[in-house]
Amino acid sequence: MIAVAALFTMGALVAIQARTNGDLAVRLGGGLSGGAQAALVNFTVGLLFVTVWIALRPSERHRLGVLRRVVADGTLPAWQCLAGLGGALLILSQAASVPTLGVAVFTVAVVAGQTGGSLGIDQLGLGPAGPAPVTPRRAFAAALTLAAVALSVLGRSGPSALSPLLLFCIAGGVAVAVQSTYNGRNGKAIGSTVVATWLNFVAGTLGLLVVVLVLMGAGHPMCPLPGTWWLYAGGPMGVAFVSVVAASIRVVSVLLVSLATVAGQVLGALVLDAFFPVAGQGLHLITIFGTVLPIVAVLIAASEPLNRRASDR
C-alpha cells in the first residue's frame, strides 16, 4: 500500500510537471521547437540535480563503478542504458502538446499508451517483477482507457481535437512504460535506483540535445531562457518520479505501476484544468467523464486477485 500511495503521488506530480513544462515551452517559442527546448531544459536540470545527489553520497558513487562493471561484463546490456530516451519522448510530447491540448486531454492520451504498453510488457514478462499475463479483466481496463481518449477528444472544439499531437502523446505513454521497465531492470542490476535514475537522465539529455541541434539546423533558433524560477521545477519532479517508479517496479507488475500513477495523473490534471485552465480551453463535461474513466479502469484492473496473477506465472 505504501508503494501504491507513493506512485499515486508521483502521478499527481506528473500532471503538475506537464503544466510547468508546457508553460516553459510557450516561453521558448512554442510548437515542436519550443517543446524540444523545454524538454532539454527539464532533463538537464534533472541530470544536474541527481548528479549532485550522487556526488554527496559515497555509497552511490561506488555504484557508478558497479554500473561500469555490469556493462563491461554484459550483465547489463549497453542498449538497456538508453531507457531514458523513453522518458525524453514523453517530456517532449508533454511540452509540445499541453499548451494546445490542455493537461486533461494530454493525460488521457498518455494513459492509453502507458496502459496498453504495460499490458504488453507484463504479458512478455519483461518487467523486473516477472510476467503477469493479460486476463479479460485487465484487457477490459485497457480498452476502457482507450475509450476515455475518444471521449476527451469529443469534448474539445477546433482543429486541436484531431491534432496529430494526440498520437504523439499516446506514443509518449508507450515510451514511458518501456522506460519504467528498463529503469527497474537497470536499478536491479546496479543495486541502486539513484544511479539508474542518473543513467536515465544522461540518455534522455543526450537524446534531446540531438533533437534540438537538428531543429536548429533546420532553422529553428534557440530562445533565451526565462527568469521565472518555477518553470525549471519539472526537472526535480522528473527525478522524483523516475526514482520512485524504478524502485516500485522491482516488486510489482508494470501494469500496477502504470495504473497507480495514472490515478494520480488524471486527478491532478482535472484539478489543474478546472482551476488553472490553458488559455482558451475550458473544462468540458465530456472531458471530465473521459478523464474519470481511467480511474474506473484502475479499480477494475486492481481488483484482479494477486494470487491469480501469481498462479499464472
pLDDT tens for each residue of 118-169: 888 887 777 666 666 667 776 777 777 667 666 665 655 554 555 678 888 8
The DSSP result for 263-279, as a single string, is: HHHHHHHHHHHHHSPPT
* Residue listed under C-alpha cell 485497457: 142
Q: Per-residue pLDDT for 303 more than 80?
A: no
Task: Find out whether 1 and 257 touch, Cβ atoms under 8 Å.
Answer: no
Instruction: Work out the pLDDT band at 66, boundaries 50, 70, 90.
Output: very high
**What pLDDT shows up at residue 85?**
94
Task: Find out whether 40 and 53 touch, Cβ atoms under 8 Å.
Answer: no
Burial class (CB in 10 A: 0-12, 13-18, 19+), 135: middle
**What pLDDT shows up at residue 111?**
77
Q: How far apart are CA 236 and CA 253, in angstroms?
A: 25
Could you report the per-residue pLDDT of 15-40, keeping only the tens digit for each? 888 888 888 988 998 888 888 999 99
Query: What is the Cα gyration radius of the chain?
Result: 19
CA distances from 242 to 30, 39, 46 (A): 26, 15, 10
What is the average pLDDT score of the chain?
A: 81
pTM above 0.85? Answer: no
Q: Cα dihedral sign for 275, 279, 285, 291?
A: negative
Q: What percent of the chain has pLDDT over 90?
A: 33
Q: Per-residue pLDDT for 73 more than 90?
A: yes
Q: How far apart are CA 164 and CA 101, in angstroms?
A: 11
Q: Per-residue pLDDT for 46 more than 90?
A: yes
**What pLDDT shows up at residue 231?**
92
Q: DSSP secondary-structure letter at 227?
A: S
Q: For residue 70, how far is the Cα from the chain centroid?
A: 26
Mean pLDDT of 110-122: 81
Q: Per-residue pLDDT for 282 more than 70?
A: no
Q: Per-residue pLDDT for 312 more than 50?
A: no
Give 312 or 254, the one with higher predicted confidence: 254
Cα angle: 69, vertex 73, 79; to 5 degrees: 90
**What pLDDT shows up at residue 274?**
74
Burial class (CB in 10 A: 0-12, 13-18, 19+), 10: buried
**What pLDDT shows up at residue 16?**
87
Could you report the per-residue pLDDT of 199-247, keeping only the tens digit for each? 999 999 999 999 999 999 998 888 999 999 999 998 999 899 888 888 8
At residue 83, what is the residue type? A
Q: How far apart are CA 190 and CA 71, in angstroms?
A: 9
Which of these, 90, 74, 66, 72, lies nearest to 204 by C-alpha position?
A: 90
Name the grid cell of 260. 497507480
**What pLDDT shows up at residue 296?**
76
